[in-house]
Amino acid sequence: MSPDSTLRTPDHNERERLLRMLSVATFIIFFQAYMVAPIIPALSNAFGTSVQTVGLVVPAYLIPYGIATLIFGLLADRLGVQRIMFASLTAFAALTALTATATSIEQIVLWRVLTGLGASGVVPLALVLVARLFPYEQRGRPLGWLFGAMAGGMAFGSTLGAVLEPFIGWRGLFLAVGAAGGIVLLLFLPYRRMIAAAMQPVGGTLGDLIRGYMNLLGTPRGQRTYGYVFVNSMFHSGVFTWLGVYLERRYGLGPVGIGIALLGYGVPGFLCGPLIGRAADKWGRARLLPIGLGLSTLAAAGLLLDLPLVVAAIAITILSLGYDMTQPLFGGIVTSLGGKRPGQAMGLNVFSLFVGFGLGSLIFGEVLRFGFGAALGMFAAVELAAALCSLWLFRSEVTSGAKGLSSGTR
């Protein structure tokens, strides 16, 4: 194959095939991330440890994941996206399977830290590839597919994790997902050249790296976008991580019942992710973001009430819809901020997202010592404030034709 053919831009059909494979990899990684929180009660019983201690398993994965994205984004810009993605996917498959060898909560926490560090080079770089392959005004649909895959991983991970654990055990869950990651890695191999052709390495010094982050955070648009990614992720992870414990304590549900009650989480994004993306392309993010933040607030506030179980499950689904109408849209804005270093821009986005995920679960767990009323009330109040402020802060995020948002200077 000649150099020219190696560096050519993928055509429409190739882009769509690559998008589907990226979506599959994203689904598996988020399935693995979200299957853990609902089995906190089961792990607590298995190891005879408090739920607060077992709850550390969640941030043990999420915070290292977020931190490592800064490194992977830089390495991808310098060494090439395809090398980093395949190394990270290999680490994800191996370390997820090895978690099944743990004999204590402390060992599970250690394996989760290592998995978070190793797995964080796939999803952020998938988002970077979409940003490179699709123009900003057409980016909503492919981003919708990726975030829909994330939502699908959330939905099936949170449900099947809780439902399958009584039958195959928590060790079986990690072994099965590790094997699935290995299969995805093999299916990804034919796409190496296509990924390499889409993005070439970008050189630079440490000073360039620092200036890159300063530039990303040096404009009001960058500051508010990354800030909202962080705060919104803290809210959603804090509430979601402890839903299994909430359902066990309030409704007396076992693992299978918890899984069924969580069935709606992630379904809106899985089914409607591309549609939400198209709506953002058509009407602008200024209209959808406050709605998504408002729905999240209503869902958390609803869980404060003494609702019938069916209504609580609907509130959980609405909570998921709030996520699907916010974080993918923030991700779309980030893809226009990176300039020649999209890996760095998306790395900072996923850093904000996953560190927020980890801190949110930790903070909610600490406030939970005062009861679910205090924890849900505090988180709902913060999200409500964010929703009201977003009406003003994101008012310029209309369609690109109207305001020329690709400049990224607002």
Residues 255-291 have pLDDT tens digits of 888 888 888 887 777 777 778 878 887 888 888 999 9
**Is 320 a member of any domain?**
yes
307 lies in which domain range? 8-195+214-398
For the ranges 100-109, 190-199, 225-234, 324-333, the lowest mean pLDDT is seen at: 190-199
What is the mean predicted confidence (pLDDT) over 31-50? 87
Task: Report the alpha-carbon distance of residue 245 to residue 217 in Å, rounded.
Answer: 37
For the ranges 7-21, 84-98, 166-180, the lowest mean pLDDT is seen at: 7-21
Confidence of residue 308 (pLDDT cuts 50, 70, 90): very high
**Is 207 a member of any domain?**
no
**Is 123 a member of any domain?**
yes
Q: What is the pLDDT of residue 76?
A: 73
What total number of domains does the chain contain?
A: 1
**Is 200 a member of any domain?**
no
* Residue with the larger pLDDT of the pair 13 and 40: 40
**Is 336 a member of any domain?**
yes
> What pLDDT, in 10s, does the model give residues 58-117?
889 988 988 888 777 677 767 777 888 899 999 999 999 999 999 999 999 999 999 999
Check whether 378 has a pLDDT greater than 70: yes
- CA 246 to chain CA centroid, Å, is 22
CATH number at residue 139: 1.20.1250.20
Task: Report the alpha-carbon distance of residue 45 to residue 190 in Å, rounded.
Answer: 44
Check whether 3 has a pLDDT greater than 50: no
| CB burial string 41-55: b at 16+ within 10 A, e below | bbbbeebebebebbb
Task: Report the alpha-carbon distance of residue 283 to residue 365 in Å, rounded.
Answer: 38
* Residue with the larger pLDDT of the pair 130 and 372: 372
Percent of the chain, pLDDT > 70? 88
Task: Report the alpha-carbon distance of residue 318 to residue 303 in Å, rounded.
Answer: 11
* Residue with the larger pLDDT of the pair 191 and 322: 322
How many helices and strands, by DSSP H and E, does the chain display?
A: 21, 0
User: Is the alpha carbon torsion for 13, 142, 199, 23 positive or negative?
Assistant: negative
Check whether 197 has a pLDDT greater than 50: yes
Task: Report the alpha-carbon distance of residue 190 to residue 384 in Å, rounded.
Answer: 46
Nearest to 219 by CA among 55, 7, 409, 2: 409
Q: What is the pLDDT of residue 226?
A: 94
Confidence of residue 334 (pLDDT cuts 50, 70, 90): confident
What is the mean predicted confidence (pLDDT) over 317-326? 91
**Is 327 a member of any domain?**
yes
Q: DSSP secondary structure string, 39-93?
A: GHHHHHHHHT--HHHHTTHHHHHHHHHHHHHHHHHHHHHHH-HHHHHHHHHHHHH
Q: State both tokens at 205.
A: 């010094």
Q: What is the pLDDT of residue 399?
A: 64
**Is 1 a member of any domain?**
no
Mean pLDDT of the chain: 84
**Is 227 a member of any domain?**
yes
Residue with tokens 């402890």: 242
> What pLDDT, in 10s, does the model give residues 236-256?
989 988 998 899 999 999 888
Q: What is the pLDDT of residue 191?
A: 81
What is the mean predicted confidence (pLDDT) over 205-228? 82
Q: What is the phi-psi region of residue 371: left when phi exceeds 0, alpha when psi lies from -120 to 50, beta otherwise? A: left
Task: Report the alpha-carbon distance of residue 119 to residue 64 in Å, rounded.
Answer: 10
Q: DSSP secondary structure string, 180-204?
A: HHHHHHHHHGGGHHHHHHH------
What is the mean predicted confidence (pLDDT) over 403-410? 40
Nearest to 67 by CA among 358, 293, 387: 358
